[in-house]
């Protein structure tokens, strides 16, 4: 979004995207952690009352998962190979974006889904190749130039816009996750709000918060592992669904409207 806005000559909008991307974790992390602790205490109480029920659920899935091509031939997928595959996918997505009216980010998402579903590419190749941090540095490096054309007189306006945007987002999360009955989709208001604000974080912050909640609430290693594993599912899956899928598609459509 930042680069697209900059290409259109919208310097303030590009800088605003960079600012929001930079500070969103500071907004979402405290609330996601607090809601996770509240929900974790409820989980712990239920676990202590009937631990056999949860252990049965954990061991009840006896079906063996199908081994993908990438898992069968792990020795072929070194760190360099996985980084090359990601780079090749990005290159193909950019070409398809130039040839079609569909933004390259959506093509990248579709290519990622196809590669993961086919099993030809390992899941989470950036993490497995230890290049996720490098990618994040590159992302920040690509949005920092957006701030170059911002004058000091624009800082006050951008600060106000940032506060308004985050306030509107938090109000929306509270409305959907607490006030309206939509929280029943996940079965708990604290969990619903936690999933909502967790969208400010993404991977790996959501995994770190789940681990910290487990350590803070659980007393034994079994309790900590149970809380972490249970919270990982909605937090991480919610992040993948919204951040990876929905936000990418929405950004792709908005870019074409600029």
Q: Rounded mean pLDDT of 232-253?
A: 71
More confident residue, 182 or 113: 182
Given a contact cutoff of 8 angstroms between Cβ atoms, the answer to whether 199 and 242 are in contact is: yes
Q: pLDDT per residue over 30-67, tens digit each?
A: 999 999 999 999 999 989 888 777 765 544 444 455 78
Please report the pLDDT score of residue 143 as a whole number. 65
Assign residue 188 a region (left: φ > 0; alpha: ψ between -120 and 50; beta: otherwise): beta
The DSSP secondary structure of 156-179, one letter per residue, reads HHHHHHHHHHHHHHHHHHHIIIII
Of 3-7, 52-56, 130-134, 136-140, the range with the lowest mean pLDDT is 3-7
Please report the pLDDT score of residue 147 as a whole number. 65
Per DSSP, the three-state class of 65 is: coil
Whether 120 shows a pLDDT value over 90: the answer reads no
The model's confidence at residue 7, banded by pLDDT at 50, 70 and 90, is: low
Given a contact cutoff of 8 angstroms between Cβ atoms, the answer to whether 197 and 227 are in contact is: no
The angle formed by the CA atoms of residues 169, 175 and 177, to the nearest 5 degrees, is 95
Please report the pLDDT score of residue 100 as a whole number. 85
Please report the pLDDT score of residue 142 as a whole number. 67
The full set of domain ranges for the chain reads 2-50+67-257
Per DSSP, the three-state class of 236 is: helix
Given a contact cutoff of 8 angstroms between Cβ atoms, the answer to whether 185 and 5 are in contact is: no
Whether 155 shows a pLDDT value over 60: the answer reads yes
More confident residue, 150 or 97: 97
The DSSP secondary structure of 129-150, one letter per residue, reads TT-HHHHHHHHHHHHGGGGTT-
| Paired tokens of 181 | 């009955």
Cis? peptide before 87, omega within 30° of 0: no
Give the long-range contacts of residues 87-96, CB within 8 A, separation 24 or more. 89/115
The C-alpha atoms of residue 199 and residue 250 are separated, in whole angstroms, by: 14
The C-alpha atoms of residue 207 and residue 210 are separated, in whole angstroms, by: 5
Given a contact cutoff of 8 angstroms between Cβ atoms, the answer to whether 245 and 116 are in contact is: no
The C-alpha atoms of residue 206 and residue 103 are separated, in whole angstroms, by: 27
């Amino acid at each position: 979004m930042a680069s697209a806005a900059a290409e259109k000559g919208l310097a303030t909008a590009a800088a605003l995207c960079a600012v929001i991307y930079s500070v969103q974790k500071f907004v979402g992390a405290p609330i996601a952690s607090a809601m996770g602790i509240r929900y974790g205490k409820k989980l712990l109480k239920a676990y202590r009352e009937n631990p056999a029920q949860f252990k049965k659920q954990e061991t009840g899935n006896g079906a063996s998962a199908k081994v993908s091509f990438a898992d069968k031939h792990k020795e072929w997928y070194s760190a360099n190979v996985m980084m090359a595959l990601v780079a090749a996918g990005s290159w193909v997505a950019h070409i398809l974006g130039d040839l079609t009216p569909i933004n390259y980010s959506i093509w990248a998402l579709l290519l990622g889904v196809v590669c993961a579903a086919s099993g030809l590419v390992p899941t989470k190749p950036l993490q497995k190749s230890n290049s996720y941090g490098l990618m994040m540095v590159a992302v920040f490096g690509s949005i920092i130039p957006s701030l170059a054309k911002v004058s000091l007189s624009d800082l006050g306006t951008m600060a106000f816009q940032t506060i308004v945007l985050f306030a509107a987002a938090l109000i929306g999360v509270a409305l959907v996750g607490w006030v309206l009955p939509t929280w029943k989709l996940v079965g708990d208001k604290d969990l619903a709000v936690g999933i909502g604000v967790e969208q400010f974080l993404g991977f790996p912050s959501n995994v770190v918060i789940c681990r910290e909640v487990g350590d803070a609430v659980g007393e034994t290693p079994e309790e900590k592992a149970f809380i972490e594993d249970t919270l990982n599912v909605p937090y991480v899956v919610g992040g993948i669904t919204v951040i990876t899928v929905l936000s990418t598609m929405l950004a792709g459509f908005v870019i074409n409207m600029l």
